[in-house]
Amino acid sequence: MKWIGAALLAGSLLLPPLFAGDFYINLASQILIAAIFALSLNLLVGFGGMTSLGHASYLGVGAYISALLTSRYGFGHGAAALLSIAGTTAMAAFFGVIALRASGLGFLMITLALSQVLWGLAYRMSNVTNGDNGVAGLTRPAPFGISLDSPISFYWFALIVATFALVMMAIFVSSAFGSSLKGVRDQPRRMAALGFNPWLIRWITFVYAGFWGGVAGLLYVYYHKYIHPTSLSTTSSAEALLGVIAGGSGTLGGPAVGAALVLLLKNYVSAYLERWNMLLGLVFLFIVLVMPTGIVPGVSRLTTRLRGGVR
């Protein structure tokens, strides 16, 4: 069944550039970016038990660093990308030291507060970020001389990065370190008694999640060729968290499915329904009532029951 599921997923990812128009190809690219962002948040929420409402900080800061370095200071895309990811990871390391002084609700509130500080600075420091007007006129990179200006070429680029991100995060959570992370999530005192350092394990995970959040920010600014302070808002963090919970936290496929659901409702259904947020709330309520652990775990259990009934 796992191989069949992987084949279906691979087929669905290869279909957009073959049969869809530019609108759906662009939508698929946005879903891939949102999936990377949700998967990075899932490292904290699902595998680490650290619910964060400030994860948009890494997407927004990563995007802003790249945008400002290329548009204002004349850096090439390669150097700007490296500095962007390095800066975002360093910020995650610093924020982790602050946020991990608390746990549970306290951790959530600290991450929210840090994100709000950055959001406010993005608006107020108009001489740097251009304030509410955002940073426009950006260009996409051309890796190995291949232009990413067409929807199809950018989709393939986003697909390659998303696949690599998924593989790296899968290795991370399935490693011995990932097992210790789950142990700290479930039994922190017992893990400490066994000689593990719960704080250090959580901090490393926090930094790693921030790294992939910065990668999502790079793809985000490459796609839109524009960045605005709303990328740092609580709404961006909440949408990613909603995708993680709806799809199934603590799984690798769940956050990607949840992110796709949220993005489709936001970008596609909103064209037909003015109150798409209400529909999103109803869908989320249905998932919580029918599949409390998320879409992917719920469908997996339903499939197991059906197979058992057939036998």
Distances (CA, A) of 191 to 119, 176, 182, 196: 36, 13, 10, 6
Q: Which of 217, 212, 85, 210 is nearest to 138 (CA)?
A: 217
Q: What is the pLDDT of residues 39-57, one digit of tens each?
A: 999 999 999 999 999 999 9
- Residue 10 reports pLDDT greater than 60: no
Q: Distance of CA 161 to CAs 146, 155, 165, Å? A: 15, 10, 6
- What burial class does residue 147 get, using C-beta atoms within 10 Å of its C-beta: 0-12 exposed, 13-18 middle, 19+ buried? exposed
Task: Specify the pLDDT at position 2.
Answer: 43
CA torsion sign, 299 to 269 to 28 to 37? Answer: negative
Which one, of 257, 240, 242, 253, lies nearest residue 166 by Cα? 253
Q: Is 148 helix (H, G, I), strand (E, B) or coil?
A: coil
pTM of the model: 0.92
Check if the beta carbon of residue 254 is closer than 8 Å to that of residue 248. Answer: yes
Rounded CA separation 11/68 (Å): 37
CA distance 20 to 184: 45
Is pLDDT at 225 greater than 80 in this prediction? yes
pLDDT digits (tens, 9 = 90+) for 140-177: 999 988 999 999 999 999 999 999 999 999 999 999 99
Q: Which pLDDT band holds residue 6 (cuts at 50, 70, 90)?
A: very low
Which pLDDT tens digit goes with each residue over 230-268?
Answer: 999 998 999 999 999 999 998 888 899 999 888 888 877
Q: Are the beta carbons of 298 and 248 closer than 8 angstroms?
A: yes
